[in-house]
Structure 1
Amino acid sequence: MTSHDPRATTASEPVTPDHPSTEPVVEYQERLTVAWWMWLVVLFVGAASFIALAPINMAVGIIAAVVIMVLITLILHLGSPRIVVTDQDVRVGRAYIERRFVGEAEPLRGDAVRVARGPELDGRAFMNFRVSIPDMCRIEIVDPVDPTPYWLTATRHPEELARAINAGRPTDSA
């Protein structure tokens, strides 16, 4: 007996209004990569390892410099959190929440970021700060069983992130 994956489509089951796709539609995504000056640090560390090992053996110095720079680059890339907003959920790094539990998103810049990170910060909030990214977005959480009042995440495009989240919110009907 074979099992049928309802998400899978075949030639006889095209994605149409009669057979909607259950794959999430990405509405916004961003990788919070490190600042440009961090790559200078990577080059410096590679050069330092070459200088330290080249007097012993030139080939070892070159190989060590390249391996160290590649490893640091991989760590920096893989350690950079992603923000992904789909029609089904919102993800920031490893944290995710279904869209139905997401309230209003508010873009923050300048002094509003300082206030949100400081005097107004709720210790129960999920925080994703990045030193090299000054702008943020506050995302309200409306899950009645989740004690987290909001997510506060760094973003290079706070207005676009807030727009993507707010566009998927249900509208209030009077």
Structure 2
Amino acid sequence: MSVSPSPSSPAPRTAAAAEHSERLSLPWWLWVAGLALSGLLAAEVWMGAPGVRAWLPFVVLPPATAVALWWLGRVRVAVRDGELFVDDAHLPVRYVTDVVPLDAAGRREVLGVGADPLAFVVQRPWIGGAVQVVLDDPADPTPFWVVSTRHPVELARAVMAARDAA
């Protein structure tokens, strides 16, 4: 028999509450548009010519486009084991002082004219939201990270929960 905590007692903090994971994949319509454009370009190269020019563009361009579209959407954002992972970069959450969820307008403001050139930015234009992770690491000149995410509030909560748990 399991015993649930009473409503007045705080819920125990678990590592699962501090975890977050998402892939910054492309929307379906970008796949359709990209593959349609590669087919159009293959037809332009072909233009009724015989021989290799008749089939080579159709064999090379659509698969190359599919690989390029997959590569654009391969970035993963995750919070686990006390670190924030963004693609190949990782940040121990002990250096995080604050996390600010941003909508599209907030992201434009942070990355606009007055943007800090030392900031670490992983931005995907097809994703509206982002988070700004403010850092306090004396050994690193990077003042903050700006990371695109479809769930800015959840990512901010996960980073702060991981920092508080560390």
TM-score of the superposed pair, with normalisation by structure 1? 0.70
Shift of 1:62: 5.0
Deviations 1:54-76 (A, max 9, x none): 72348864563243222221122
Corresponding residue to 1:65 among 36, 58, 62: 58
- Pairs within 5 Å for 1:129-168: 129-168=123-162
Corresponding residue to 2:88 among 71, 90, 94: 94
Shift of 1:158: 0.9
Residues 1:58 and 1:103: Cα distance change in structure 2 (over 3 Å): farther
Residues 101 and 131, structure 2, Cα contact 8 Å, conserved in 1:
yes
Q: Partner of 1:83 in structure 2? A: 77
C-alpha distance in 2 between matches for 1:135 and 1:67: 35
Q: Partner of 2:105 in structure 1? A: 111
Structure 2: gaps spanning 5 or more residues: 1-14
* Bigger relative CO (Cα 8 Å, ≥ 6 apart): 2
Corresponding residue to 2:41 among 33, 44, 48: 48
Runs of 4+ in 1 over 4 A off after TM superposition: 57-63
C-alpha distance in 2 between matches for 1:102 and 1:77: 31
C-alpha distance in 2 between matches for 1:130 and 1:100: 26
Deviations 1:125-172 (A, max 9, x none): 11122222222110122222111011011111111111111111127x
Structure 1: gaps spanning 5 or more residues: 1-23
Residues 20 and 158, structure 2, Cα contact 8 Å, conserved in 1:
yes
Kindly provide the amino acid, as one letter, of the partner of residue 87 in structure 1: D
C-alpha distance in 1 between matches for 2:163 and 2:126: 30
Corresponding residue to 2:120 among 119, 126, 137: 126
Kindly provide the amino acid, as one letter, of the partner of residue 94 in structure 2: R
Percent identity, aligned pairs only, is 30
Taking only aligned residues, the RMSD between alpha carbons, in angstroms, comes to 2.9
TM-score of the superposed pair, with normalisation by structure 2? 0.73
Deviates more, 1:149-158 or 1:57-66: 57-66
Kindly provide the amino acid, as one letter, of the partner of residue 32 in structure 1: L
Residues paired across the two proteins, number: 149
Deviations 1:77-117 (A, max 9, x none): 12332212112321212221222223321110143222212
